[in-house]
Structure 1
């Protein structure tokens, strides 16, 4: 989830690009760079934040007088944060910036190597650049870009400049890209915040659009080689609203981004139906036991994955709370691996649990969202989720990305053991489009139900199987941002004590995927609630008459229901907190990263 900017007009581009990148830095902050077009292409880039790039520009000794340029602030996907992997990437004739994931970059790299091209970075973005450069030998820049787009698989937003042409080329598939309009100058950006101080008029590029931005405010847009017109829109937003994409809070924006974050995480690790993970295959092939350690939301992601691991692999999986594990005397056996999960990569208890496992000679794998974080550096192997930055304290898209990475690890182990997982991979690939298409409908339905229950002071969440940890996570979200007491329980445990809490003022949120026997058994527990005047909010793809309120879930198989059903739970907590007027993004007493014990 990187940030792209571009400018073509009659002002110095460098300052406009740097200001735009500052506004986009919430989208990524591993490295940053700009490319300016004069009689040559001048690239300045750094490992670090936009402030470091500003310093590099000031100390470059160049006057930076160009009126055409592109820029980028990076959230690392392919290749660690470094100056070499920073964008823009350039050849003598081209410079490019890119947001997205190219799934087939390895195959393209092999082809380009045979044609004499050798990469200087570890990024998939440089693959796009070299492919365009290759085709430009016989084609125009426009045709070379179009040809490259026909070959690329994955998601991308691209900005490209070519020496000798006073133009910026832009292309879009899945990843966002907008053109800002202001008399005789044009702006290009991943979102409005990058050019909002200059103009409030813009055009949104649609799937497979190619745009050509020229001097004097002229631009053309093509789709499948046909020239098209796109609606000019306008907004009356301030900068903070623009960074939120028009959403009231970052939390809601980040829930809406779960399809993109999940797609980035999944597609980066699946090549031609084969799971690609940078972990020793002999280690994975011989695993006999898995220990997962984490805190909070990350712990619930680990607990959810346990059901998938054990069903698919018949390997015992232990999921432990880090703050308890670090003071225990764990018993490890041969061929045991330790998995630490942390969004920030800095969680203190998880870090110390990792150190304990390492001291006992156990091979360690970390699942983190921040490159070069402490837990990533300490681990023998690291798997990066590609959720992009989370601004809201309450974690949302990190959960689905952590769960996806755990599933990818399970599928990789299965492939190494000769287990057929083709159907699982297909369904995993199908989840992001479902989330994208269903989000607005689910959000609308959940908001209505949240209004009905916003006055309630206590909630119970029930689920069986992998829906039980979802109930725990749903209750946690409600507590975190709504300050409402909520508890999650295994549905079958209701009659072992918690049923004493049930009355007409304590609703129960029931998560019941349609698979048997989970569905009928969970509905039976819900009937026990109804018999005691409790209200039922049912989340399922199958309606039941016991539901006072029903949230219909898109139909997927049981093991993938967690990716779908977590979204209404997050939205329910969000809407109640918003109705109550709470500070949703910065709830009281909480911090984004718990770096102390």
Structure 2
């Protein structure tokens, strides 16, 4: 298309309108070395805004050392950067899109290993702080309940739902299994837990009286995003539980709750899982108090939640003893 006379941006846009599948790309043209064109469809792109400089990545972690101001490209958007600044347009119809930048909440120190030999051990030891951060400002000990501002406008609809689906992948799916027991016990609403990759391809009973809870650490899990879109097409209320502010799931769901676990670098999830389970406990407490759980039971619940961090810390204090047990059993059959 470029050879046929279209401009660099027009050639990229025309080509992308014919692409089937997901992508997050950045393109350059040797004839216009001071221009970049980036585009997103089903794959995240974050644009860092610096002083007369830009940074493009799939998430905010590589950018935070250079700038804290970012723009998240949404599905089907194209960004052009040149010496005059940047412009965002729709890939499909060329509509100009105005976006306000957001500030990255975590710091560079949070994505460094510090005194630990690897990220997984560091993140295991961060669980006490993570649990505290997840609950901060959300527990009302006096009333024996939890306040979740991200879903407050939708509480009536959630409480009156006929069924709840929890959809996720990997470790987040396992958090959902725990959530099923909690939510069914305290809300009295039937809860089904499904892998997002299964949910998106079958025909679950989903309608306007259904709540679909999507759990994802990154907020970018492709199958979970597809499950959300399927649920919304069928009229369900979608609720996201994710860690990354500004992620696709946080933007596409009707309401949601952030876990505030901080960046998780280790591939095997640790603190993110703990934070997800903590949020599900808070959600169950919130539902339970509105569904008939007594004030005294609610206070007992909140006290137990507030003590979890100390219990986790007590386990971590015994790390050396646990290491010796692990060494003695690692080769056991």
Residues of 2 paired with 1:258 and 1:293: CA distance?
24
Task: Decide whether the 8 Å contact of 2:206 with 2:235 is kept in 1.
Answer: no
CA drift at 1:260: 0.4
Residue from 341, 363, 372 that aligns with 2:246 = 372
Q: Does 1:287 align with 2:161?
A: yes
Deviation, 1:439, is: 0.8
How far did residue 49 of structure 1 move?
A: 2.9
Q: Which residue of 2 aligns with 1:296?
A: 170
Give the match's secondary structure for 1:51.
coil
Contact kept? 2:212, 2:236, Cα under 8 Å: yes
C-alpha offsets along residues 362-391 of structure 1, whole Å, 9 cap, x if unaligned? 000010000111111110002100110011
Could you tell me which runs of 5 or more consecutive residues in structure 2 were left unpaired when the two chains were aligned.
Answer: 1-45, 51-62, 70-99
TM-score by length of structure 1 reads 0.37
CA deviations over 1:242-266 (Å, ceiling 9, x no partner): x323111110110000010011001
Pair 1:82-2:97 in alignment: no
Residues in 2 aligned to 1:82 and 1:447: alpha-carbon distance in whole angstroms: 42
Report whether the alignment pairs 1:431 with 2:305.
Answer: no
Q: Where does residue 143 of structure 1 map in the other structure?
A: none
Could you tell me which runs of 5 or more consecutive residues in structure 1 were left unpaired when the two chains were aligned. 1-28, 34-47, 55-79, 88-98, 100-189, 195-239, 457-504, 506-597
Per-residue deviation, 1:335: 2.6
Partner of 2:64: 49
Matching residue of 2:145: 274
Aligned match of 2:324:
448
Tell me: CA distance 1:32–1:308, structure 2 relative to 1, closer, same or farther (3 Å). Answer: farther
Counterpart contact for 1:81–1:371, Cα < 8 Å: no
Name the structure 2 match of 1:250: 119
Q: Which has the larger radius of gyration?
A: 1
Task: Report the Cα distance in structure 2 between the residues aligned to 1:363 and 1:356, rounded to whole angstroms.
Answer: 11
Q: 1:444 to 1:430 in 2, by over 3 A?
A: same
2:327 & 2:240 partners in 1: Cα distance?
Answer: 40
Find out whether 1:324 has 2:173 as its counterpart.
no
Q: CA–CA distance in 2 between the matches of 1:30 and 1:403? A: 31
CA RMSD of aligned residues (A): 3.0
If the length of structure 2 is used for normalisation, what is the TM-score?
A: 0.65
Is residue 422 from structure 1 mapped to residue 299 from structure 2 by the alignment?
Answer: yes
- The answer to which structure, 1 or 2, has the higher relative contact order (CA under 8 A, 6+ apart) is 2
Residue 414 of structure 1 deviates from its aligned partner by 1.4
Looking at structure 1, the residues matched to 286 and 118 of structure 2 have their Cα atoms a distance apart, in angstroms, of 37
1:291–1:336: 8 Å Cα contact kept in structure 2? yes
CA distance in structure 1 between the aligned counterparts of 2:126 and 2:138, rounded to whole angstroms: 19
Matched residue SS, 1:52? coil
Looking at structure 2, the residues matched to 342 and 430 of structure 1 have their Cα atoms a distance apart, in angstroms, of 25
Instruction: Map 1:21-170; keep pairs closer than 5 Å.
Output: 49-52=64-67, 82=102
* Whole-angstrom CA distance in 1 between matches of 2:273 and 2:140: 23
Cα distance, 1:350 vs structure 2: 0.7
Task: Please state how far the C-alpha of 1:81 moved relative to its aligned partner.
Answer: 7.6
Report matched runs for 1:585-596 at 5 Å. none
What is the rounded CA distance, in whole Å, between the counterparts of 2:101 and 2:300 in structure 1? 34
Query: CA shift at 1:334, angstroms?
Result: 5.5
Distance 2:329 2:65 in 1: 44
CA distance in 2, matches of 1:384, 1:30: 21
Once the 2 structures are TM-superposed, how far is the Cα of residue 50 of structure 1 from its aligned partner? 3.5
**What does residue 20 of structure 2 align with?**
none
Cα shift at 1:422? 1.8
